[in-house]
Structure 1
Amino acid sequence: MSGRHRGGRCTASVISEALRVSEGAGGLIVTSSQIGYALSLALLVPLGDVLERRRLVSRLLALSAVALLGVAASPSLGALYASVALVGVTSAVAQIVVPMAASLAADRERGAVVGTVMSGLLIGIMLARTVAGVLAEFGYWRLVFVFAAGVMAVPAITLRLILPLVPPAAKTPYPRLLHSVVTLVRTESLLRRRMALAAVGMGGFTVLWTASSSLLAGPAYGYGPAIIGLFGLVGVVGAAAASVAGRLADRGRARQVTTGGLIVLTGSWGVLLSAGRGGPLGLSALMVGIVTLNLAQQALLISHQSVLYRRIPHARSRVTTALMVSAFAGSTVTSALTAALYPLVGWAGVSALGAAIALIGLAIWSLELLRPSPAEPLADPSADENVRAARTSGGRADRSHAHAEETAHAEIRRVALLDDYQHAAHRYAAWDSLPEGTHLTSFSEHLGSPEEVIAALEPFDVVVAMRERTPFPAEDRSLRKGAWQQTVGRDLHGARLGVIGLGGVGSRVAQVGVAFGMDVVAWSDRLDPGHAKALGVTPVSKGELLTTSDVVTLHVRLSPRTVGLIGTGELALMRPDALLINTSRAPVVDEEALLAALHAGTSGGAALDVHFTEPLPTDSPWRSAPRTVLTSHLGYVTADAFEIFYRDALGDILAYAADEPVRLLTP
């Protein structure tokens, strides 16, 4: 907490006089605090991702109280510098609390929770300005810091008692933790753009509050520090916007909040320009400008945090570090510019500076609107956890085999990621944690013939093979073309669902059918009647299933006994309006027989997620087959499946590189 002007002189000047040192030496007090805060943002805040946060927050708050008492009791300038620097370090605790609150909140209310916390943070800043001004006006300067120490002691005790344990989001060595912040900034365009906007927003905020003190203390108004401090109460009104912005972000309106915030930020400087004339009109303009600018700044900051915490949920403290370091840099630069320009160009000049900064923000945001950055959630790329999990799940048993000793010493230099059509692999694993010097190549085009595969992959030491499929447009084509209700659907209730293969997936599909009130029957050559009846499913013969079912769905493994399981004879048994669904493997169905039945009109329709040739060739007859719903092997293309696959693949590579291979195919 710092008190601003007494008769035009800042608290640092008062302290300089009390300690009988020069104004320049006293001015370094603020510099000491800023250095401590900057170091804390860069080096301390990331620890929120790897340490238990209740303990971390309460200890930092307690240490802040002690440091503030140290400031109040400082007998010399050197001791004061050290204590103020420590206050700066511990004050970054607020930037640990915000991502901690986001982690504790449910997804549907995370924006509102972050908004509430940020409202409290800004209200505290505004009220601190007011209280410090009053104390500096009527009390001794040391009283400001004694009061602040008492204020910090209260949450230090309260949060320790009422907060639950908040386990760390990751277990990462400290050097790698800091390096991961740089990696996030380098790889995430959304983070870079939001950092730039955070610098813009905080820059405008700093221009206002740096220059307004000089304006209010100058000839246009002539106010003392107590009255100037009361203007912080005006800023509290704008701070209340944070919770509203958070609720809008929860409803998927974060981009609209950003757009509105930047427009309001720019417009507020037009209002603030009139404050320079003084008098009642100027005072009114200043108060309206303070409210609108604070409102815009808080809305912007909440929108940044909401989209970034959603995008990078496993590294919220590190995201906060990047965001707030950028905001602090913007604040530092604009503070220096404002201090230098105000004596030369006055209030009108700094208002023009604030407007120019806001226009820069609009230009950055225009780029984001034209070319949006990826915003879907990233998976947790904690490689250390992957390797530990892999070792726990089977590493000890695998390492007992001599084969592991014989194969664990190969050097890994080149890794290939196959069929990364959606460029998703980098979102679900931290490939930068591979051994230094490892080169990663992602193939986004399908390798067709065996010759192409051999030629392309021959130089690689490791091949990560996973087929991805792009999402398909659902049956909305007619609607998009302007039509409405072109088909008549079927009722599921009372219809018969025939499940071929009542294993893990088949059982779940059967349960869905039962839930919809369908008459579910099942067959397989190894069907357990007891299991079927427990699911509410009637075991029947294959022939009865095919002849009586409205929908036949296949859930069997591919093996010699299941190849061609549904052929010409089986299709002939099915009702002409029956539907066939295959999400297991393409060879289970005779492709030519099904195509012939569809074209002949003897099959009601087919829904296929698997194909003989994948990706499906552009000239495939299936692309023009009637009464079909085709998807591009989407059955496993989910965020959870990708996360498991790529994290396990990365864990396998790292374990192999560490001479401790896991999950070996040949024991």
Structure 2
Amino acid sequence: MPDYRTPPENRPVRIAILDDYLNCALTVADWSGLQGKAEITVFDKPFADAKAAVAALQPFDVISTMRERTPIPRALIEALPELRLITMTGARNPTLDIAAARERGIPVVTTGGGGNGAYATVELAWGLILALARRLPEHVQAMHDGAWQRHLGIALNGRTLGLIGLGRLGARMAPVGRAMGMDVIAWSPNLTDERAEVAGARRVDKQVLMETADVISIHMVLSDSTKGLVGAGEFSRMKPGAFLVNTSRGPLVDEAALLAALHEGRIGGAGIDVYDHEPLASDHPLRKAPRTVLTPHLGYTVEETIGRFYVDTVENIQAWLDGRTPRLVEPG
């Protein structure tokens, strides 16, 4: 168990809420219980670089993170002399060096999930699929421009949904595909026929999935072994009209290969919610790539999930201030 650093005795605790892009942290949860005990600063934009993060966070006792938006590596933790508590949102944060925090005796605490919000990423994936299939962005823009029908869409019924990854989220994609009359196939390195059948899918080899699916949706955890899982070779095997959807992590897809496939018309389109570097640069070539539906990492950003994150964050901070045990991240 971490060696707790106690709150400051002669002043309010200074709390930094990081990466609150939507400026909603103080409204989706009740922070009034910390009134008089804490000074809260909200950072609604990412830091320019690691040096800027160090400079901005020097005075703070508590850092409240939002998933892995701002990396919290060892170098940053060691550069913050006042840091006494790190609050984490979600089940994992690969960019937070928990071991470095523990070495300094700084507790790292976490939150619960999002209740119904746990389905939010799956719902967004289907939103991207439907937007691609019916070319909704073009038709919405046409209506705003005073025009009418411009493009033919496709029906999903009778087509094939290919799921790369059939874990918690991938398995929730399968019944929706089946309800739409799609044949659902799946692949992941350790997937078995039995697990696929339970989820309502049919296991196939990766090459077969790339060659036969009309819609390919990625639901894998990013790791050294899965980085670049979909690259030039995979795009060359896809049907000319097939769609790729990624709501997991940007580096699972080779970005250069994706851009080439789009510009050369080798695939029907892409629905992308996640990117190699976030926020996506304003001049990034994906923003002008053809046949794309791009969203700004909206997968989990719904009221249910973000609300739960910040409600639990407040409870964790209050417990720490009161000398009680908050939701500690387990060693591992």
TM-score when normalising by structure 1: 0.38
- Identify the residue that residue 93 of structure 2 maps to in structure 1: none
Partner of 1:271: none
The amino acid across from 2:141 in the alignment is R
Size of the aligned set, in residue pairs, is: 262
One-letter amino acid matched to 1:422: L
The structure whose residues are more often strand, as a share, is 2
1:409 aligns with 2:73: no
Q: Counterpart in 1 of 2:225?
A: 561
Contact 1:420 1:444 in 2 (8 A): yes
Letter of the structure 2 residue corresponding to residue 439 of structure 1: E
Conserved? CA contact 1:586–1:610, under 8 Å: yes
The structure that has the greater radius of gyration is 1
Q: Is residue 317–residue 326 contact of structure 2 (8 Å, CA) maintained in 1?
A: no
Deviations 1:535-571 (A, max 9, x none): 3311110000000110110000011111010011111
Higher relative contact order (CA 8 A, sep 6+): 2
Alignment deviations for residues 324-345 of structure 1 (CA, whole Å, 9 cap, x no partner): xxxxxxxxxxxxxxxxxxxxxx
Q: Following TM superposition, where does structure 1 have runs of at least 4 consecutive aligned residues deviating by more than 3 angstroms?
A: 471-474
Q: Deviations 1:235-293 (Å, cap 9, x if unpaired)?
A: xxxxxxxxxxxxxxxxxxxxxxxxxxxxxxxxxxxxxxxxxxxxxxxxxxxxxxxxxxx
**Whole-Å Cα distance in 1 between the matches of residues 178 and 169 of structure 2?**
14
Q: Does 1:536 pair with 2:136? A: no
2:130 is equivalent to residue 466 of structure 1: no
SS of residue paired to 2:320 = helix
Residue 448 in structure 1 maps to residue 45 in structure 2 = no
Cα distance in 2, alignment partners of residues 656 and 449 from structure 1:
30
CA distance in 2, matches of 1:664, 1:408: 14
Residue in 1 aligned with 2:292? 628
* Equivalent in the alignment of 2:111: none
Once residues 35 and 27 of structure 2 are traced to their aligned partners in structure 1, the CA distance between those partners, rounded to angstroms, is 19
Instruction: Give the match for residue 103 of structure 2.
Output: none
Provide the C-alpha distance between the structure 2 equivalents of 1:581 and 1:431, rounded to a whole number of angstroms.
37
- In the alignment, does 2:194 pair up with 1:504? no
* Amino acid across the alignment from 1:415: I
Residue in 1 aligned with 2:78?
none
Give the Cα–Cα distance (whole angstroms) in 2 for the partners of residues 482 and 447 of structure 1.
41
Aligned to 1:425: 25
Q: In the TM superposition, what is the alpha-carbon distance from 1:651 to its structure 2 partner? A: 1.1
Greater fraction helix: 1
CA distance in 1, matches of 2:290, 2:226: 26
Q: Deviations over 1:469-488 (max 9, x none)?
A: xx999722221111222221
Kept after mapping to 2: 8 A contact 1:408/1:659:
no
Show CA shifts across 1:577-601 (max 9, x none): 1100000000100001111111111
Task: Give CA-to-partner distance per residue, 1:363-404, whole Å, 9 cap, x none.
Answer: xxxxxxxxxxxxxxxxxxxxxxxxxxxxxxxxxxxxxx4x3x
Determine which of 252, 265, 277 is the counterpart of 1:601. 265
For 1:29-40, what aligned pairs fall within 5 Å after superposition? none
Is the contact made by 2:228 and 2:251 (CA closer than 8 Å) also made in structure 1? yes
Q: Give the conservation status (yes or no) of the 8 Å contact 2:186–2:202.
A: yes
Does residue 483 in structure 1 map to residue 83 in structure 2?
Answer: no
For the 8 Å contact 1:520–1:536, the answer to whether it is kept is yes
Q: State the distance in 2 between where 1:413 and 1:487 align.
A: 57
- Output one character per residue of 1:163-222: Cα deviation in whole Å (capped at 9) or x when no partner: xxxxxxxxxxxxxxxxxxxxxxxxxxxxxxxxxxxxxxxxxxxxxxxxxxxxxxxxxxxx
Please give the alpha-carbon distance, in whole angstroms, between the structure 2 residues aligned to 1:415 and 1:536: 46
For residues 130-187 of structure 1, give each alpha carbon's deviation from its aligned partner in whole angstroms, at most 9, with x where no partner exists: xxxxxxxxxxxxxxxxxxxxxxxxxxxxxxxxxxxxxxxxxxxxxxxxxxxxxxxxxx
Judge conservation of contact 1:408–1:656 (CA < 8 Å) in 2: no
- Counterpart-to-counterpart distance in 2, 1:584 and 1:539: 20
CA contact (8 A) 2:7 2:13 kept: no
Once the two structures are TM-superposed, the CA of residue 666 in structure 1 deviates from its matched residue by 5.4
Give the Å deviation of 1:603.
Answer: 1.8
1:63 aligns with: none
TM-score, normalised to structure 2, is 0.75
Query: Any conservation in 1 of the 2:164–2:220 contact (CA below 8 Å)?
Result: yes
- The Cα RMSD (Å) is 2.0
Please list, as runs of the form range in 1=range in 2, the aligned pairs for 1:36-51 lying within 5 A after superposition: none
Kindly state the Cα deviation for residue 528 of structure 1 after the two structures are TM-superposed. Answer: 2.8
Q: Counterpart of 1:441 in 2: which secondary structure?
A: strand
Q: Which amino acid aligns with 1:516?
A: M
Contact 2:163 2:170 in 1 (8 A): yes
Consecutive unaligned residues of structure 2, counting only runs of 5 or more, are 70-123
| CA distance in 2 between partners of 1:448 and 1:487 (Å) | 41
Q: Which residue of 1 is the match for residue 57 of structure 2? A: 457
| Separation in structure 2 between the aligned mates of residue 428 and residue 565 of structure 1, nearest angstrom | 37
Task: Tell me, in whole angstroms, the C-alpha distance in 2 between the residues paired with 1:639 and 1:443.
Answer: 19
- Which residue of 1 is the match for residue 213 of structure 2? 549
Q: Is the 8 A contact 1:551 1:581 kept in 2?
A: yes
Q: CA deviation at 1:629?
A: 0.5
Aligned 8 A contact 2:28 2:311 in 1:
yes
